[in-house]
């Protein structure tokens, strides 16, 4: 089996040494070279043709974000951002996902060790390496959405007792943007788990809130669900659905990781199956691993309508594939038509 060829781009000699040494201990990964800045990296990318580039954002001569945009325009390649700016979920790090980066990993800090970083990086490198080349590049950020779902928005008015639960991982930030931008103001309450680093979810929700007709925000503990609002689970916190009489709300907690993830899609979906049952719609989107598959099956068994994103429109066909193979999906749908399918279901 060929090893995954990785190029490390970072202005810190220590970071380059640590990443090269630690990642090379994994038999599937080969760090073929390093570069201290984007100009040297550009030449090495063309010459060595790595499978994946690990890219810092804060660098001399040219910042990583500018380099990323140029790279995706002229030489699309799989990129994972490894940067200290990821620790606080900065706007710059979030923009890297819009500009074509596939994952973001924070450098070690007081609350985040080198071992934590290496473990995450290995997992993400193995997953990202499976993404086809044609799925790599800058995704168009559409401000205007002309959708069948927008024309049918009135059909949602009578569905306020419904709840939509969505789970996503790698590639999910863009998939969620497309889905939430199409949701009309009368949409049922939406609860979301997107695998993201701590602090990122708040910035991510704020950006979505600026471009969506519905309200999008990072969830708070005991927050009540309401129509026209989407709640995103905070990074490093599990989110579960709860019910008190006719009122639905979310509960946040710092429980054990599930499939190396916190928040976990399975934990959300299992709680939705228990407390919403047939009043729920479950959607599992692009992402590596199997988190959410068993939970989606549980939702389906409790009478919920369940959707899995199809392989062609997924960045990583991992989580939906697991769900489909388990028989957890009522329907397999392309990303472009998921909202239309939800509205059609709600109108029946």
Q: Which of 135, 162, 180 is the last residue of a domain?
A: 135
Mean pLDDT of 3-26: 94
Of the listed ranges 122-126, 137-141, 341-345, the one predicted with least confidence: 137-141
Q: Is residue 310 part of a domain?
A: yes
Catalytic residue positions?
A: 169, 195, 291
pLDDT computed for residue 167 by the predictor:
98
* Alpha-carbon distance values, 93 to 102, 222, 234, 343 (Å): 12, 29, 17, 34
Mean pLDDT of 129-157: 57
Nearest to 271 by CA among 162, 191, 201: 191
Q: Give alpha helix (H) positions in 276-326.
A: 293-301, 319-325
Q: Is residue 141 part of a domain?
A: no
Same domain assignment for residues 15 and 163: no
Same domain assignment for residues 126 and 221: no
> Any residues with CB less than 8 A from the CB of 187 and at least 6 apart, and which?
156, 164, 214, 227, 228
Q: For position 28, which CATH number holds?
A: 3.40.50.2300
Residue 273 structural domain: 148-346
* Alpha-carbon distance values, 226 to 164, 279, 329 (Å): 11, 14, 26
Tell me: the pLDDT tens digits for 172-182? 999 999 999 99
Same domain assignment for residues 110 and 194: no
Residue 144 and residue 216: Cα distance in Å, rounded? 17
Q: Is residue 204 part of a domain?
A: yes
Same domain assignment for residues 131 and 221: no
Is the pLDDT score of 42 beyond 70? Answer: yes
Q: Is residue 325 part of a domain?
A: yes
Same domain assignment for residues 112 and 233: no
Q: Is residue 297 part of a domain?
A: yes
- Domain count along the chain: 2
Same domain assignment for residues 199 and 115: no
Same domain assignment for residues 113 and 178: no
pLDDT computed for residue 272 by the predictor:
97
pLDDT computed for residue 198 by the predictor:
78
Q: Is residue 323 part of a domain?
A: yes
**For residue 264, how many other CB atoms are within 10 A of its CB?**
25
Q: Is residue 143 part of a domain?
A: no
Q: What is the pTM of this model?
A: 0.84
């Amino acid at each position: 089996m060929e090893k995954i060829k990785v190029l490390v781009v970072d202005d810190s000699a220590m970071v380059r040494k640590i990443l090269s040494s630690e990642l090379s201990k994994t038999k599937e990964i080969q760090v073929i070279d390093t570069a201290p800045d984007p100009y040297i990296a550009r030449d090495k990318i063309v010459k060595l043709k790595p499978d994946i580039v690990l890219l810092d954002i804060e660098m001399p001569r040219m910042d990583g974000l500018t380099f990323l945009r140029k790279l995706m325009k002229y030489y699309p390649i799989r990129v994972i951002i490894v940067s200290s700016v990821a620790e606080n979920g900065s706007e710059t790090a979030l923009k890297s996902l819009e500009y074509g980066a596939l994952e973001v990993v924070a450098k070690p800090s007081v609350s985040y060790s080198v071992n934590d970083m290496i473990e995450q990086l290995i997992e993400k490198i193995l997953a990202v390496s499976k993404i086809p080349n044609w799925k790599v590049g800058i995704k168009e950020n559409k401000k205007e959405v002309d959708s069948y779902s927008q024309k049918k928005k009135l059909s949602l008015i009578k569905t306020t007792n419904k709840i939509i639960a969505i789970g996503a991982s790698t590639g999910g930030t863009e998939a969620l943007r497309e889905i939430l931008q199409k949701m009309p103001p009368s949409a049922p309450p939406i609860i979301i788990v997107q695998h993201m680093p701590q602090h990122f979810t708040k910035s991510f929700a704020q950006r979505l809130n600026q471009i969506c007709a519905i309200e999008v925000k990072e969830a708070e503990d005991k927050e009540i669900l309401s129509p026209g609002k989407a709640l995103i689970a905070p990074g490093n916190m599990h989110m579960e659905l709860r019910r008190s009489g006719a009122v639905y709300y979310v509960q946040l907690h710092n429980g054990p990781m599930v499939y190396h993830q916190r928040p976990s899609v399975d934990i959300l979906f299992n709680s939705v199956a228990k407390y919403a049952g047939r009043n729920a719609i479950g959607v599992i989107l692009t992402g590596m691993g199997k988190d959410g598959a068993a939970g989606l099956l549980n939702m389906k068994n409790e009478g919920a309508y369940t959707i899995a994103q199809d392989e062609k429109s997924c960045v990583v066909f991992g989580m939906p594939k697991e769900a489909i193979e388990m028989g957890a999906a009522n329907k397999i749908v392309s990303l472009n038509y998921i909202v239309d399918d939800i509205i059609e279901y709600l109108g029946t």
